[in-house]
Structure 1
Amino acid sequence: MGESVPAHDRASPTTDRGPFELCLLGGFSLRDAAGQPVELPTRKCELLLAYLAMPAGRLHGRDKLAALFWSDRDEEQARGSLRKALSSLRAALGPQALGGDRDAVTLDPAALAVDADRLASLASNPAGIVEGAAPLWRYGEFLESRPSASAEFSDWLTFERTRCRNLAQTVLEGMALRLADAGDLSQAQSVGQRLLAIDNLREESHRLLMRLYARAGERSRALAQFQGCRELLKRELGVEPSQETVRLSRQIASDAASAGDAAVRPADGSGSPAARETAPSWPTERPRGLSIAVLPFAGKSDGEQDFLANGISQDIITELSRQRDFLVIAPQSTVGYGSGAGEAGIAARDLDVRYILAGSVRRGGDQLRVAVQLIDASGDRCVWAERYDRPAQDVFDLQDEVVRRIIANIDAEVRAAERESAARKRPENLDAWELFHRGMWHAYRFTRDDHQLAQGHFERALELEPGFSLPYAGLAYVCLSAVTWHFTTDVGQTLGAGIAQAEKALALDAGDAFSHVVLGRLLTFIGERPRAAHHLSMAIDLSPSFAQAYFGMAQLHFWSGRPREALHHIGQAVRLNPRDPLGSMFMTLQSFCHYWLDDFAAAEAAARRATALNARETWSRLGLAAALVALGRAEEAMTVIAEARRMDQGLTVASFDAVVGQVPDDLRQRVYSALRQAGLG
């Protein structure tokens, strides 16, 4: 036990051995499915694997990789070194782990379980934090003590370290809050101390510890924490603590009741619990929750870079303004603020917004790099960061592409942050806006219990604000989900109820893209394709970066017998939001499209990606089973169907047909025949 297995002694493909475990937080370690350490021959191989894994599935040009890791060698030598390193990785991980062609390389996401991915998953899933976060007590810096391969690699390393540090702070803070809610204040304080150790200049961490100490009755310790924070900020930065930190210290010093029990969870951006209680539940058509300011992007003094930086930030503001539920601060109001993330808190307070987008543009040779960070100022945390490296030949095409990607990610990440924020609050403290997002948080978990909770939250939101359109769309989505996930025995009645709710939503707000998408998908299921096409096209026109609108259009094309067009729209959806809550369904539909086109290997690969994204999904297993039968692997298909039946005991060909009965008959009969061969009755 514990003895390293040299890479050259391991030739089994990944699919036979199961996923490897790659740990990048605190250094580098690789273990096989049995838990045995796997040694790679060089540090460069380790760094290359880390780069390919963050994230896995992305296609990387070989020339770029060679320059990134062997910039000190000529082009031919660098490519030779890359080939040798990739060969070592294949020997270690199995021949199926790496894909691509002579020009590009990709790492199969199913080949590795990466601790940094687990960290990101925990940060986006508050309910799983306490159970899954224990290893983060020992959180270490991303690729700690690993030398950089080049200046470009150093930039990437800095970016990933910042991103992982922000994610760890989110997870540890959530863990501390949940432990405190459970009454385990001693453990909560220990987690809070670990959180502070990640960045001892972060005032939010100091405030959390102050609240935890106060709740435990340790007032003197809470005040000592404030004093230590004050001295540290003065010594290191030459500044005083923020008004929020000072106000909390005074509250604790006066022994106010809210400094104990009620103060462990701060009011979300409202300043005080009293202010939150008196705030209206739905004050305006544009809620403060989606308010955002785009700070001027930083370029270098180079005129072209300044021009591009200004153009990108202006285009982002223009496109965000098209989102009806975003309040976007005019660009004239953001002049004078720096582009760094450190300016976020100041700008957010001055401009009275919750979210800040900061970014920069940098040119190196014939490549342009655009880096962006989305900061939630209410918790002083980075909720999303990304970097875009593109050839600089056509600046205008580059600008259009990058802006589209940024808008899609902002839209997805801000809404995810709203769901997470609502999920953390006590139900009795939620207003109509928060109840809608709490409902969507449950709806996207795709379980029968969560389905019922989602419906209850949407109904409660309408009790508070009968004229609010989104909860009606949420109720329509609950109906759609009930049909998709077999939570109803009366498919026709449920689809009809969903259509009625979606139409109510659009009667209140005809410009909401989500409502159009839900109605379009419901109409697709009942075969009303022209109406479905109208609503899905409207959704794309209203919100060109909304991934689920393209998925809905893909479903419509598939239901209409056009699998190639469906694949195109699925590709659009995945590019716009690879982390969409419906991501597994994107891949499942992709699998059935490939099956229809007789590309059974691609159908299998897409179905396996879907099951990796959502282990509870049965649809992906139906696609996988059909592909395996077509590939002559009926025994494997029978195992897959047995697994699907364990998850959904009511799953039959008939229950499947109740949902997809409007799909062209020739495909349905092919799939049903394959599923029957795999044992589905």
Structure 2
Amino acid sequence: METDGPDVVFSAKELELRLLGPMKLMRRGVAVPLPPSRKVRALLAYLALTPGSVPRERLCHLLWQVPSDPRGELRWSLSKIRLLMDTDGRKRVITANDRISLDLEDCDIDARHIQEARRRGIGNLDLEALRPIAGRCGGDLLEGVEIDNSPAFEHWLTSVRSEFRLYALEIAAEIGKKTPVGGEDGLPAARQWLDLAPLDADANLRFLAELSRRRMGDACNRHLDAAARLFADEGEDFAPIREAWERLRPLSRQPAVVVVSDGVGRPSEPIHVTVARRASIAVMPFRELVAGGAGRNDLGSAVAHDVISKLARLRSLFVIARGSVFAIAGEGLELPEIGRRLGVDYVATGFLEQHELGIAVNVEVAEAATAHIVWTERFEARAAEHFAVVDEISNSIVSSIAAEIENEERNRAILKPPDSLDAWEAYHRGLWHMFRFTAEENERAAEFFRLSTRLDPTFSRAHAGLSFTHWQRAFQRWGDRDGETRDALKAAGQSLLVDDQNPAAHWSMGRALWLTGDHDQAVRALEHSVLLSPNFALGHYALSFVHAQSGDPAAAITASDYSRLLSPYDPLLFGMLGTRAIALIRLDAFEEAADWAIKAAARPNAHVHILAIAAHCLALAGRLSEARSYAARIRLQKPDYRTDNFLDAFHFTPDVIARYRQVAALIGLAT
């Protein structure tokens, strides 16, 4: 695309809509003045970025909660958009069945280009493809389109802005990694990455490498000092970066690309917060065993690298970066010495064996100080391609390590006096109580989560945990549903505010939005949680939960299966199994649904709604004797429980509600 003056842009597309930075619209290369109304611009952007059609009611709720005639306001705004978008008799605003959509064929929309690149995988693109995409990241999404007193729109805008900030950061990081050190574009690429991620260890090391390659020693020293002050101001430890630089500096003058870890957009070195600590782990390269002893470590190092990257993206542990770990891997150190050198609580080690059909990896996690083994497991994967094997194996290892350390930290916290807990320990004490799934334990969990947030207001997962306790009170009717829903949203919002890159923050927001009945926004938040960390099992489970009731039942089954693959012993396993059952009901697979519902009801801590899923699924499968036995178990727990209570808890579609009501009388749960 070429320009000729500020208002004329030549493009192959009939319409161009720029949503990153100040909003702009061009028709055949000529700028079109936008209406002064921010709500018109907001509506246009929302429709342009939301796939499919949108119900009028949702658009009214999004932007016009105050006016007495929100539909009239919507009609007026749509008339303004028609004037902007319609060309040569082509109507681009489509209204049908009380739903609105935009015909965007032959439209160039910058944000959609970036979404498509992200879908294809930023890491799969070369520099030639990445640079024009980076050129479209021209600022924050919809600069100047903030709207007061429209909380639903504010939440949507905050959410999508965080998505595009993440995309811009991933693109800048990938360009920084792939641009050769010392080349003409090396320093600008490194600076762009650092500008977007000033606390990222890899970004700092890459920038230092560019300066050193140009023999700018004074600039290196100035950057080290300035970065150290910035890290100190943010309560983070800069020493590992300084140490890593001392090791890498002799290599930085060589004409090669600096090898950095894959924790795109996040600090890959441990960040020791001054108020709250977080359990830390070093994942050592896995030794490869071959006939006659140890062989090359290429594949073992690749698996360890993938585990490090994916663990870091979960943001539940401090994960030592690959550079620091690999630098001492060949020294033959004992676990306590590794712990002292790297300052970690846990060390993961293991060995790898290759065979014709795949690989097997034996992994141990031990306490660094005592060398006490916390957990050990053997993982096997069969695949034709090494990349596929590495991905499959590392996914299993990551989920298991995270779950086992979380369990260890919960058990440790429960043994300490409450008044001696720090923020990290209070959070894990809260998890211990939360996973009991009773009203009383839920209250105890909320108390510990509040304690954790008081001790460290920046601890995002503690706010997310608090949001979950409010969600439980609303879902189980242990409190006023409307009030608890508001509190769940508030705590989730605080979790996002302090760390919008934490998958747990978006998970808590997605669940809270589900309580409000906003299915689409709930799905969007939950999809963002697994976008940030594909190994976040609870994000996949929550997606299954929402889709199973009123979304895509096939997607619900896929998400349920993946959540269980990632976390086969999860405290919420009864929910993962139960959502699969209710998704199968929507696919008329009654017998299969009944079998999965029985598995859900057999899990420890399965609450009364899980028993109700089993009772109704069995009844629909014609297994009335078994269904009545579950109904009897329900009445023992809650004598007044009826099918209405079950239906009121969930957001089922009308056809499914009719099915459940049909069988309620047969099992004694009718009103």
Query: Which aligned pairs between 1:22-33 and structure 2 lie closer than 5 A?
Result: none
Amino acid at match of 2:570: D
TM-score, normalising length: structure 2: 0.56
| C-alpha deviation, 1:547, in angstroms | 0.7
Structure 1: which amino acid aligns with 2:427? F
2:286 is matched with: 297
Residues 1:639 and 2:629 aligned together: yes
Q: Shift in Å at residue 451 of structure 1?
A: 0.8
State the match for 1:520 in structure 2: 510
Partner SS for 1:598: coil
Determine the C-alpha separation between the residues in 2 that align with 1:653 and 1:360: 53
What CA distance in whole angstroms lies between the structure 1 residues aligned with 2:356 and 2:315? 39
The amino acid that maps onto 1:300 is L
Q: Aligned pair in 2 of structure 1 residues 411, 615: CA closer, same or farther (>3 Å)?
A: closer
Q: 1:442 aligns with which of 422, 428, 433?
A: 433
Task: Please say if residues 422 and 430 of structure 1, whose CA atoms lie closer than 8 Å, have aligned partners that are also in contact.
Answer: yes
Q: In the aligned structure 2, how far is the partner of 1:338 from the partner of 1:469? A: 33
Match of 2:489 among 488, 499, 509: 499
Secondary structure of 1:345's counterpart equals: helix
Counterpart CA distance in 2 for 1:633 and 1:340 is 63
Q: Which residue of 2 aligns with 1:156?
A: none
1:482 deviates by 1.7
Q: CA deviation at 1:567?
A: 0.4
Task: Work out the number of aligned pairs and report it.
Answer: 398
Q: Is the 8 A contact 1:446 1:485 kept in 2?
A: no
Structure 1 stretch displaced more, 632-641 or 436-445? 632-641
SS of equivalent residue, structure 2 residue 287:
coil
Q: Give the match for residue 663 of structure 1.
A: 652
Say whether the 8 Å CA contact 2:383–2:389 is kept in structure 1: yes
Q: Answer yes or no: is 1:576 the counterpart of 2:576.
A: no
Alignment correspondent of 1:554: 544
> Are residues 380 and 673 of structure 1, via their aligned partners in 2, closer, same or farther at CA, if it must alter by over 3 Å?
farther
1:491/1:658 contact within 8 Å kept: no
Aligned counterpart for 2:396 among listed residues 371, 388, 405: 405
C-alpha distance in structure 2 between counterparts of 1:592 and 1:379, whole Å = 46
User: Which consecutive unaligned segments of at least 5 residues does structure 1 have?
Assistant: 1-281
Matches within 5 A, 1:439-478: 439-478=430-469
1:626 aligns to 2:616 (yes or no)? yes
Residues 176-325 of structure 1 correspond to what in structure 2 (within 5 A)? 284=273, 288-300=277-289, 306-325=297-316
CA displacement at 1:511 relative to structure 2: 1.6
Contact 1:603/1:623 (<8 A) preserved: no
The aligned residue for residue 540 of structure 1 is 530
2:361 alignment partner, SS class: strand
> Post-superposition shift, 1:320?
2.3
The answer to whether the 8 Å contact 1:566/1:593 transfers is yes
Mapping for residues 288-367 of structure 1, pairs under 5 Å: 288-300=277-289, 306-335=297-326, 343-367=334-358
Q: Secondary structure at the match of 1:356?
A: strand
Quickly say closer, same or farther: Cα 1:654–1:346, change in 2 above 3 A: same
Alpha-carbon spacing, 1:587–1:451, altered in 2? closer, same or farther (3 Å): same
Of 334-343 and 420-429, more deviation after overlay is shown by 334-343
Q: Cα distance, 1:599 vs. partner?
A: 1.7
* Structure 2: segments with no counterpart, 5+ residues: 1-270
Q: Within 1, Cα distance between the matches of 2:366 and 2:443? A: 32
Change (3 A) 1:615 1:604: farther
Q: The residue matched to 1:372 in structure 2 has which SS?
A: strand
| Structure 2 CA distance for aligned equivalents of residues 663 and 656 of structure 1 | 10
- Deviations 1:517-540 (CA, angstroms, capped at 9, x unpaired): 121012123221232122112111
**CA distances 1:526-581 after superposition (whole Å, capped 9, x unpaired):** 22123212211211112210111001111222233421111011011011101111
Distance across 2 between alignment mates of 1:521 and 1:306: 43
Deviation at 1:483, TM superposition (A): 2.8
CA displacement, residues 423-459 of structure 1 (integer Å, 9 cap, x when unaligned): 1211111011211111111011101221111111122
Instruction: Map Cα deviations across residues 588-641 of structure 1 (whole Å, 9 max, x no partner).
Output: 111111222222221121112112212542222212211222232323322211
Report deviation, 1:473.
1.6
Partners of 1:616 and 1:647 within 8 A in 2: no
Please give the alpha-carbon distance, in whole angstroms, between the structure 2 residues aligned to 1:651 and 1:389.
45
How do 1:668-679 residues align onto structure 2 when only pairs under 5 Å count?
668-679=657-668
1:31-50 equivalences under 5 Å are none
TM-superposed CA distance for 1:316, in Å, is 1.6
Cα gap change, 1:508/1:584 in structure 2, threshold over 3 Å: closer, same or farther? Answer: same
**2:567 aligned with 1:589, yes or no?**
no
Any conservation in 2 of the 1:339–1:360 contact (CA below 8 Å)? Answer: no
Q: Quick one: structure 1 residues 330 and 505, their matched pair in 2 at CA, closer, same or farther if it must change by over 3 Å?
A: closer
Partner Cα distance (1:594, 1:477) in 2 = 26
In structure 1, the residue matched to 2:642 is: 652
Q: Shift in Å at residue 379 of structure 1? A: 5.3
Inter-partner Cα distance in structure 2 for 1:360 and 1:659: 47
Q: Is contact 2:507-2:529 (8 Å) kept?
A: yes
Letter aligned with residue 415 of structure 2: R
DSSP 3-state at the match of 2:625 = helix
Please tell me the residue identity of whatever aligns with 2:465: G
Query: Which AA in structure 2 matches 1:572?
Result: Y
Query: 1: distance between equivalents of 2:644 and 2:500?
Result: 36
For residues 359 and 286 of structure 1, the distance between their equivalents in structure 2, rounded to whole angstroms, comes to 33
Equivalent residues of 1:348, 1:377 under 8 A apart:
yes
**3-state DSSP class of the match of 1:433?**
helix
Percent of aligned pairs with the same residue? Answer: 28
Q: Is 1:461–1:471's contact at 8 Å kept on the other side of the alignment?
A: yes
Over the aligned positions, Cα root-mean-square deviation in angstroms equals: 2.6
Assess, with a 3 A threshold, how the Cα gap between structure 1 residues 643 and 340 changes in structure 2: closer, same or farther.
Answer: farther
Distance 1:396 1:561 in 2: 33
Which residue in the other structure is 1:393 paired with? 384
Equivalent AA in structure 2 for residue 402 of structure 1: I
Counterpart contact for 1:288–1:327, Cα < 8 Å:
no
- Kept in 2: contact 1:292–1:326 (CA 8 A): yes
Whether the aligned pair in 2 keeps the contact of 1:296 and 1:339 (CA below 8 Å) is no
SS in structure 2 at match of 1:300 = strand
1:631 alignment partner AA: A
C-alpha deviation, 1:668, in angstroms: 1.7
Question: Which stretch shifts more, 586-595 or 412-421?
Answer: 412-421
Counterpart Cα distance in 2 of 1:481 and 1:341: 49
Q: Give me the whole-angstrom Cα distance separating, in 2, the residues matched to 1:622 and 1:573.
A: 22
CA distance in 2: counterparts of 1:647 and 1:305, whole angstroms: 59
Contact 2:601–2:614 (CA<8 Å) still a contact in 1?
no
Measure how far apart 1:376 and its partner are.
2.7
**TM-aligned CA distance change 1:285 to 1:515, over 3 Å:** farther
SS, match of residue 282 in structure 2: strand
Match of 1:289, SS? coil
8 Å CA contact retained: 1:286, 1:325: no
1-structure distance, mates of 2:497, 2:639: 39
Does residue 405 of structure 2 align to residue 427 of structure 1?
no
Q: Alpha carbons of 1:402 and 1:433: their partners in 2 closer, same or farther (altered >3 Å)?
A: same
Shift of 1:284: 0.7
Q: CA-to-partner distance for each residue in 1:60-86, whole Å, 9 max, x for gaps? A: xxxxxxxxxxxxxxxxxxxxxxxxxxx
Distance 2:332 2:635 in 1: 49
Cα deviation for residue 582 of structure 1 reads: 0.6
Which residue of 2 is the match for residue 511 of structure 1?
Answer: 501
